[in-house]
Amino acid sequence: TFIKDLNIINLQNEILDKIKEKTLITFNDEHFNKVFPLYLKYTLIRQKYGEKIRTPLYEDIQYDYPLAYYLAQIVSQTIKKHTKTGISRSEITNFTILFNNTINNKKYRSRHIRYVFSTFPRTQNCIISTKYSELSVTPVIFISNSKKLRQTE
């Protein structure tokens, strides 16, 4: 990791522990472990100085990528616990994109799948992969219809 600040490292570890506790997902990807602390560092800097990033994706991203959005909410809650100030919707969107890209990275895809009950809105089918190379616990991947499922087999 490029970050040497113990506060950022401790925050990262606490967030990843909460994610593991709530979802059983762990991230052992080298790229993620380099980028995630940078996202945290720059988010905290923007928060400290009142800088805002703007993204129009917030409204749809919570429905399009519910698992990644849920992980980003865990990040937001943990940061709020430490700083007493919540992060903006655009920052949550930023973390959602990071988690989604990490989970859906092509090298993690697998053809061995099974259906899982989905409680998230706007998702018709939910699958969970059983073979991933660097994620040690199987994350959930959402698809919009069963035709896509047949194409991945």
* pLDDT tens for each residue of 78-121: 999 999 988 999 999 999 999 999 988 854 444 433 334 444 44
Please give the pLDDT value at position 59: 80
pLDDT at 138 over 80: no
pLDDT at 150 over 50: no
Nearest Cα neighbor of 129 from 143, 145, 108, 148 is 108
pLDDT over 90 percentage in the chain = 45
Within the chain, residue ranges assigned H as helices are 6-23, 30-49, 58-64, 66-83, 89-103, 146-152
Stated as kind and residue range, the H or E segment containing 125 is strand 125-129
Mean pLDDT, range 118-143, rounded to an integer = 43
